[in-house]
Structure 1
Amino acid sequence: MDRKDRNFGKQFKEYREEYLDIKQLEAAERLSISSSALSNYETKNRDLTPDMLAEIKRTFDIPDDYFLAMIMGEPLRDVKSKRHEHAGKTNEIRTHYRNQFIEQHRGLLEESNELREVIAIASSLSAKQRRIYFNSIKSNIAVFKSFIDKNQ
């Protein structure tokens, strides 16, 4: 893999944070990889395979001009500067990602009383309380995953 290809991970991290406004853990879950694997891709400690590049583009529905800039090692700001409505495009990309995510998981929300209950509780909390609530849920999930991994 050449030097330009190795920049993809760094640029994907920028894209994920700035355009999609998602955390590394969410991105890793969507890609069905560990957050440490994604971290290694983003910090250039691990090479991205062509299959993983394709999976990233598909999973996050990255527009061709941004994906090409990432592949070519061109700064994303160069893509942005070509657009007169950068803020609008960022919001459009973010909205598209969130709508796609909601559609993909709509069935789970419809069938799971427990998930709806978690959301109902969260909606009654302040932003600070909600952050603590979700972080406690994430901690419990990590314990659960560890338990499952040990028993498989």
Structure 2
Amino acid sequence: MIFGEHLRAYRERLDITQMEAAKILGIDHSALSKYEKGDLNISIELLAKIKEKYKIPDDQFLFMLQDKRYKSENPILEARESKARYIETFQDEYVNEVIHLKEYRDFTMDIVKFAKSDKERRKYILNRLKKD
């Protein structure tokens, strides 16, 4: 497995889309696709940014770079913890920038009030975005 495949697997474990990841990394999603497929070499600067933005632990990142399988004692717990680290960072970096806006809070409350499942929430968000 090449580094790009490790990268894609880690991104998917975080449950983030390629579009979201590309925005976070400040690159085009087609470039990220090429990195994940191994069609494009990743610069040292981008490697550092990926590690930072995805919150990849040092030991796991080293295994990814060495194209080794990272063995965890509890992969399910580790996946949850990885996702929690990512979400916390996402909130700090993005949500805190808009939480003071009344419209953001109203929109968030509407999502929770009118949609009870993730599927309903996604549909509600997409419909609202289409209207605006």
What TM-score do you get using the length of structure 1 for normalisation? 0.74
CA RMSD of superposed structures (Å): 2.2
Pick which of 33-42 and 123-132 moved more: 123-132
| 2:28 aligns with one of 34, 54, 61 | 34
Q: Which has the higher helix share?
A: 1
What TM-score do you get using the length of structure 2 for normalisation? 0.84
User: 1 CA distance for matches of 2:91 and 2:23?
Assistant: 15
- Write the mapping of 1:28-107 to structure 2, written as runs, cut at 5 A: 28-75=22-69, 79-80=70-71, 83-107=72-96
Gaps of 5+ in 1: 142-152
User: 2 CA distance for matches of 1:139 and 1:65?
Assistant: 43
Shift of 1:63: 0.5
Aligned pair count? 130
Runs of 4+ with deviation above 6 angstroms = 138-141
User: 2 CA distance for matches of 1:139 and 1:57?
Assistant: 34
User: 2 CA distance for matches of 1:46 and 1:30?
Assistant: 19
Shift of 1:139: 6.3
Q: Percent identity?
A: 32
Gaps of 5+ in 2: none
| 2:122 aligns with one of 115, 131, 134 | 131
